[in-house]
């Protein structure tokens, strides 16, 4: 006797998914979420594990996930919609262009960048998200005292990120890393990637930096 697994039907939820071409520039976050609340942005939201856990734990905040891979984006939209979360939105677009073009000055409470593609080959390093020009844009979009949290399993990328921050020392100060709600004991973030990498005994590296006020 054969057993056929039922394929999950992935649905779109209009209250969760955001179409890039419909966005105002700069993006009106209060209009997007229908209220004024602190906004957290996750760069590379994958299947939405962080967004799901954090949005449930912090209904007083709004969460915007940015994901380029269509299959992960669609899965995450379906996941948020099934849970009926009203404080999560997802957009499928290029994160670099989105942060630069769509986010207004001092509009974001925190950025979360967890296990981004490390682009390990030297000729591909320019494709990494955590580099000087992008981090400058994160600083611009953050509210005073806002935070960027970065986690990777790739030590050279981690060291490169620290070098970026060191070059912008007048803009950033290192702060304690705040473990998200979904992180179990012994975990830093609690995402699917972290759990996979821990099974493989990979080291995990975390960095959190807060926005310094502009020099007068």
Residues with catalytic roles: 117
Structure tokens of 162?
């620290």
Whole-angstrom distance, CA of residue 121 vs CA of residue 179: 30
Torsion of CA 12, 16, 21, 27, to 10 degrees: 180
Whole-angstrom distance, CA of residue 202 vs CA of residue 67: 24
Give just the sign of the alpha carbon dihedral 28, 146, 86, 116.
Answer: positive
3-state secondary structure of 149: strand
Task: Give CA separation, 24 vs 21, 35, 88, 213, in Å.
Answer: 9, 16, 18, 27
Provide the β-strand partners of residue 151. 114, 206
Nearest CA to 208 out of 177, 169, 181 is that of 177
What does the DSSP assignment read for 8-74? PPP---TTTEE-GGG--SS--HHHHHTS---EEEEES-TTSHHHHHHHHH-TTSEEEEEE--HHHHH
């Amino acid at each position: 006797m054969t057993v056929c697994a039922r394929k999950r039907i992935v649905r779109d939820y209009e209250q969760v998914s955001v179409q890039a071409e419909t966005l105002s520039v700069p993006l009106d976050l209060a209009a997007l979420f229908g209220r004024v609340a602190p906004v957290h942005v996750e760069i590379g939201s994958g299947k939405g594990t962080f967004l799901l856990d954090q949005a449930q734990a912090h209904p007083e905040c709004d969460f915007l996930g940015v994901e380029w891979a269509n299959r992960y984006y669609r899965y995450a939209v379906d996941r948020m919609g099934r849970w009926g979360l009203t404080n999560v939105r997802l957009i499928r677009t290029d994160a670099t262009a989105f942060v630069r073009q769509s986010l207004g000055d001092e509009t974001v409470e925190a950025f979360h960048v967890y296990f981004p593609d490390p682009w390990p080959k030297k000729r591909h390093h320019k494709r990494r998200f955590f580099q000087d020009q992008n981090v400058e844009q994160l600083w611009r979009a953050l509210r005073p005292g806002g935070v960027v949290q970065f986690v990777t399993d790739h030590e050279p990328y981690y060291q490169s990120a620290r070098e970026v921050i060191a070059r912008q020392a007048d803009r950033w100060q290192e702060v304690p890393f705040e473990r998200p709600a979904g992180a179990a004991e012994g975990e830093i973030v609690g995402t699917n990637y972290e759990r996979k990498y821990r099974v493989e005994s990979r080291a995990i590296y975390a960095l959190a930096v807060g926005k310094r006020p502009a020099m007068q």
